[in-house]
Amino acid sequence: MGEDGVIILFDLDGTLIDSTEAILESFHTSLDLHGFGGVSDEQIKALIGYPLDIMFAKIGVESEKVWSAVDAYREHYRPISTQKTVLLEGASEAVKLASSFAELGVVTTKTALYSRELMEHFLLMDYFKTLVGKEDVTNPKPHPEPILKALEAFKTQDKQIYMIGDTKLDLLSAKSAGVKGLGVLSGYGSRSSLEEHTDIIFDNALDAVRYLNMM
């Protein structure tokens, strides 16, 4: 496949990066401030991929406190994000290989500002033509809007378009947008949850990109 004919969109958390430590620390800090101690790491990790306000609401934070909790999370998260986030194994290679035969974008529920800072920190941002984050859309994944928004940066006619992600939210968004979804097991979604929405599942993003490169 040539670069003129392929577009690959990547999710971030659990697909290219592991920011679990920063996410959990920021959640617990915010929850403690708002009187919600005792929430387990597993409860939080099960919700990663949803927007922050939905995550806090699902954990049980009252609606009138949700945005205060989000603000406290962000205040704690930003200064620690680069120090406590790492690239997943093979992620850098995946992006560089993908860029050799496709145009690339990022579609994340993470704040775009933080996402760009992280990608710049890892020296990968220049490989991406666009990055769509939470504040860029009205309806986050699993709605198709984030993917459709990202695709506005590309000429899509006659292109093969793929979305690589680690949760069902990525795959549902892809399906609704008319894009082929590829699941990866490097993040927060279980194999069974991914299998409900795609029959193409890999251990990680590098394996997914290698598969696309061979097509």
What separation in angstroms does the CA of 10 have from each of 70, 82, 161?
A: 24, 19, 11
Active site residue 11: yes
d(CA 87, CA 123): 11
Exposure on the CB side of residue 204, measured as CA atoms within 13 A: 14
Cα-based torsion angle of the residue sequence 107, 112, 118, 124 in order, rounded to the nearest 10 degrees: 50
Q: Sign of torsion, CA 64 66 67 71?
A: positive
Question: CA triplet 8, 10, 16: central angle to 5 degrees?
Answer: 135
Which member of 4, 11, 53, 136 is catalytic? 11
Looking up tokens 């004919």 gives 5
Q: In this structure, what DSSP letter does residue 167 have?
A: S
Active site residues: 11
